[in-house]
Structure 1
Amino acid sequence: MKRLLSLVCALLMIATPALAHRQPEVMTTINYTGEGKKAATQITHRIHAHDAIQLLATLPTVSTPNLDDTKNLARLALYASRQFDMDGSVKTLGAEIEGNYVYVYQEAKGHPTLLGSHILSDFSDDWSNYVNVEIDGREDTSYVFSKVRGDRVQPE
């Protein structure tokens, strides 16, 4: 029994650091609502704050990469809008920091089709962009955009 307990404790000590490691990923949720003239799309991108600060540090217009600065949040929102592609007109609303994440908000009229999501993929081939598509708040489909996987839409 002592051996089993020792083994379990050893495994937990080994597994704990592995659980703490963040994966290089951006999460996006697209929510299609309504139909016809009332059709609308809400888009939310979630970027880890540490990754957002690293991105800001690469921009020549940023002297201090600080997420408390509204101009830096606007820069992040504009960057995300350039790296996210739909076949319709998408309006970027802004960004906010909440906890360890920066949230970038966008909207569109109608239900434009997702073409690509490459947020932070230009910094490393390891980055994946996970996109969950919801219809009226219910999950419908999930996609992954990744250079490692061939940089194309892949249903999960």
Structure 2
Amino acid sequence: MRWLVLLTALLLAFPVTAHQQKIAISTISHNPRTNLLEVTHRVPLHDAEHALKSRGAKAPDIVANVETRRMFARYVSNRFSIGQEEADPVELLLLGSEIEGGYIYIYQEASSPGPGTELLIFSGIMTDIWSRQESRVNMGSGTHVETLIFQAGDRPKLAILP
């Protein structure tokens, strides 16, 4: 009985490291050299695999299975959009993905409408799966960053491209 109490105390004392962070971060920036809109999505691997599992994938392994990684990249690209109020959505090209540390990075790009343009942004990355999920979008770089925060049920939001 003493060992059970000791084990319970140890489990409570040390947090479990493999838990869902429930946050995805996307960054949108204008590249003046190429005149492209560059989008990078960063999602914790653990969350990404749980998201695929909740969508019906059996034993998803994003690190070892390239097709599983592509499946998640397509999911992210379908849950993220950029547009202008009166125009069609910007067509974002899915460039690919990579694993770094405990994250999957997904890259997209499109022709840039240019700095100062008002954009209509939507990021529903995993907000359709978990109600507590937060999907953040950072616009710009350096000291000129505006952050939009999306949660389940949110609609697109307006932001100015720096």
Do both share a fold (TM > 0.5)? yes
- Superimposed CA distance per residue, residues 35-77 of structure 1 (whole angstroms, 9 cap, x where no aligned partner): 8xx52111010010101111222344x4431112111111111
8 Å CA contact 1:27, 1:46 repeated in 2 = yes
2:72 paired residue among 71, 76, 81: 76
Count matched residues: 136
Alpha carbons of 1:143 and 1:64: their partners in 2 closer, same or farther (altered >3 Å)? Answer: same
Aligned with residue 27 of structure 2, among 20, 24, 29: 29
- RMSD of equivalent CA atoms: 3.0
Mark the CA change 1:42 to 1:140 in structure 2 (over 3 Å): closer, same or farther. same
Partner residue in 2 for 1:115: 121
Distance 1:154 1:40, change over 3 A: closer
**1:39 lines up with 2:39 in the alignment:** no
For the residue of structure 1 that corresponds to 2:73, the secondary structure is helix
Look up the SS of the partner of 1:89 in the other structure.
coil
Identify the structure with the greater helix proportion.
Answer: 1
Paired residues of 2:121 and 2:158 also in contact (CA < 8 A): no
Give the match's secondary structure for 1:54.
Answer: helix
Structure 1's unaligned 5+ residue stretches are: 1-13
Are 1:126 and 2:132 an aligned pair? yes
SS of alignment partner, residue 71 of structure 1: helix
List structure 1 segments (4+ residues) > 4 angstroms apart after TM superposition.
14-17
Q: Which runs of 5+ in 2 are unaligned?
A: 1-11, 84-89
